[in-house]
Structure 1
Amino acid sequence: MKIAMLNPPHRFGQDTTQWITVPPQGYGGIQWVVATLIDGLLHAGCEILLVGAPGSISRPGLTISDATTFDATLAAIREFGPDVVHDHTNGELLPADPPWPAVRTHHLNGVPEHLANGIYLSRAQRQAAGSADAPIIRLPVNPDRYTYRASKDRFLLFLGRVSVHKGARQAAAFAQAAGLPLKLAGPAWEPDYLHGILTDYPDTAAYVGEVGGTGRTELLALANALLVLSQPFGGPFGGEWIEPGATVVAEAAVSGTPVIATDNGCLAEIAPHVGVALPPEEAPDPELATKILAGLPAPAHLRATAIERWGHHVIAAKYLEVYRRAAAGNTWS
């Protein structure tokens, strides 16, 4: 199939000369999803136009567009002539009623701006959006992009936006209870929040900044466990935060690293396969933290589970089924 893939066009940090690429230079959850899905679709023989990520690396079957605006995107898609358009931008680059068959993966909380042919990342996200029968397709992971380590270093890892709704403070509290150092990796756009964690947990938490490339994959592979203690409050858009997809869960698992999560949103559905899901209000004491760490799955099991459930070939095949439905004129909401 010919697929036009629309990525959210965002600048790389404060650098107005660069766009976040696919895959991203640093933090970029949606960009990792798009990159990994493209891996699977190219392997399946698809031809892909990537819009919204200038500076990304092209390869056989993949064309990179310079378009980043609504009008330029429509012109690029028109010239490409796709069988289907796959929108990851929540309508930023695609009209409500596009002239091509289209599907839309919802990466956020709440109700999407455009409901037609939506795809959701979890049952929790779909329910919050008010849909009953739209497809649910989990976030993909490509094992070839990650480092696998059976032996681990003595630290816990938080990898993501250092924010209230992502549970960075709860990660520090868990690490302190477990008697292990915590590495906080990711953008810290709320400096007072980060400062509070480092002040209150000076002997436990260390901020290593926003990481990418081999630094990121090494952290994922070497951690004793990844802490994904998402909270139902403090989200960037107000209201209740329901964790939609959590790419980092599959990334850790395919690296051989278990996951300690809350049961917020999608985490209740995916984390128990590769670790444990706790109530958000759970504040473990040292005895419970030690017990949780001792009961986590082995690295080889984690990697096999991640590939079987969320491997890029598996997820690409699910998307191809949905693309064919859309190309045949089927609609859903």
Structure 2
Amino acid sequence: MTTTVTADTTTPPSATTAPLKIGMIAPPWFELPPEGYGGIEAVVSALVDQLVACGHEVTLVASGHNGTAAQHFVRVYEEPPSERIGFTVMPELVLAAEADRALSDLDLDIVHDNSSAGPLLAGGRTQPTVVTMHNPVSGDNGDYYQRLGTKVRIVAISRAQMRQCPGLNWVGCVPNAIDVSSFPFEEHKQDWVLWIGRFCPDKAPHLAIEAARRAGRRIVLAGKVSEAAEKCYFDKSIRPLLGPDVEYVGEADAQLKRELYAKAACLVFPIQWEEPFGMVLPEALACGTPIVATPRGAVPEIVRDGETGFICADMETLVSAIGRVGELDPHACRMDAELRFDLPVMAAGYERLYRNVLAGCCSGGPTPTQAAGRAAA
């Protein structure tokens, strides 16, 4: 049975229940929190801090310096092996081995694994392991988790992601979140529009440029162009389009992206794939900036069509929507981000999911810990 976890924001999640002892495994590639790139690490770091603030005890397994509030820290690499991403799987294997060694003798209630190789060892634990599906569920990735079967309880970041691979052992859906208070709200917008993300055909900045030009709006582009495929796409499909009305400002750091979100008339998000979430969407909403997007992946779950943005099926409606964003209320965008995508909301959702798993509610039967206890009795 699949349970979609939603957050009750009226009651602190730990007000009436005992604290949990949680083993949190992060990917090995970046420190927590990451200084720049590292979307999964940013989510895990924020979740750790929120869980500790709610009174839980967290043992974090990660690389580099621990910048979180976790009470216990297991360091995998002194220096995160960021430069080895895409070249070798060994850091993931080393992380899995170290996490298994470090957590095996601890008195934990539950393990939350956000790595790729770590879930392979979940079957050897007495505690249940939940795994957040940060990546797409198609192809080899989905096949991998299907082969793990019921050894792991899988958490989706959107309902769209769950629909793509209904055969996985889903136990709930907890959307990603951001620190809404760290994003500046701006009611009065400038006339230009924004595209921000990774340069690739699936993210479709070329379509954002076309839509902006046809709408008579200047567009600002921000994103990384570091990998070979990104450079090839940028040089072939984006660079020839640059001009007075199309400006590329480079990869935006935390400060620059907040300035861009706050000032832009809207975020143009014409994705061409089933993206499981899209952090840029709640980030824009937090700044009071509406979204013009295609209806792929989690977009219909994040954007309230006609309230916080427009969901557009084709280029004609994209162009028309850019011209209509002034009809939308920036205050409604900000409020929606606070109610649905703020960090305490995500933490409350995960806590409820942990407790459901421990109670056996999601799997329909006892957890490994419960089964072991009954056998001993």
Q: Specify the code of the residue in structure 2 equivalent to 1:213.
A: A
Match for residue 23 of structure 1 among 16, 29, 33: 33
Tell me which residue corresponds to 1:304.
335
Larger Rg: 2
Counterpart code for 1:219? L
- Secondary structure in structure 1 of the residue aligned to 2:323: helix
Normalised by the length of structure 2, the TM-score is 0.75
- Name the one with the larger helix percent: 2
Alpha carbon RMSD of aligned pairs, Å?
Answer: 2.5
Q: Does the 8 Å CA contact 2:43/2:176 hold for their aligned counterparts?
A: yes
1:113-152 C-alpha deviation (Å, 9 max, x unpaired) = 2353111111211011124863111111222332222222
Give 2:61's aligned amino acid: V
Q: Structure 1 residues 41, 113: closer, same or farther in 2, change over 3 A? A: same
- Structure-2 separation of matches of 1:147 and 1:290: 22
Q: Which runs of 5+ in 1 are unaligned?
A: 11-19, 233-241
The corresponding residue for 2:99 is 73
* Whole-angstrom CA distance in 2 between matches of 1:258 and 1:62: 39
Instruction: Report the CA distance between 1:36 and its aligned residue.
Output: 2.9
Deviation, 1:159, is 1.9
- Of 92-101 and 150-159, the range deviating more from structure 2: 92-101
Give distance in 1, aligned partners of 2:38 and 2:64: 14
What is the aligned residue count? Answer: 311
Name the counterpart of 2:164. Answer: 128
Superposition pairs for residues 156-305 of structure 1, below 5 Å?
156-188=193-225, 189=227, 190-195=230-235, 196-232=237-273, 242-272=274-304, 274-279=308-313, 281-284=314-317, 288-295=320-327, 297-305=328-336
Question: Matched residues in 1 for 2:124 and 2:253: separation?
Answer: 35
- CA 1:183–1:332 in 2, change beyond 3 Å: closer, same or farther? farther
- CA shift at 1:247, angstroms? 1.7
Give the secondary-structure state (helix, strand or coil) at the position aligned to 1:166. coil
Aligned 8 A contact 2:291 2:308 in 1 = yes
Change over 3 Å in CA distance of 1:98–1:252 after alignment to 2: farther
Kept in 1, the 8 Å contact 2:40–2:134? The answer is yes
Looking at structure 2, the residues matched to 98 and 150 of structure 1 have their Cα atoms a distance apart, in angstroms, of: 53
Match of 2:75, SS state, is coil
Shift of 1:305: 1.0
- The aligned counterpart of 2:112 is 86
Whole-angstrom distance in 1 between the partners of 2:318 and 2:181: 37
Q: What is the letter of the counterpart of residue 233 of structure 2?
A: Y
Assess, with a 3 A threshold, how the Cα gap between structure 1 residues 113 and 199 changes in structure 2: closer, same or farther: same
1:318 equivalenced with 2:349 (yes/no): yes
Query: Structure 1 residues 215 and 285 mapped into 2: Cα distance closer, same or farther (>3 Å)?
Result: closer
1:87 and 1:94 in contact (8 A); partners too: no
Q: Percent identity?
A: 28
Please name the residue that 1:103 is paired with: 130
Calculate the TM-score normalised by the size of structure 1.
0.84
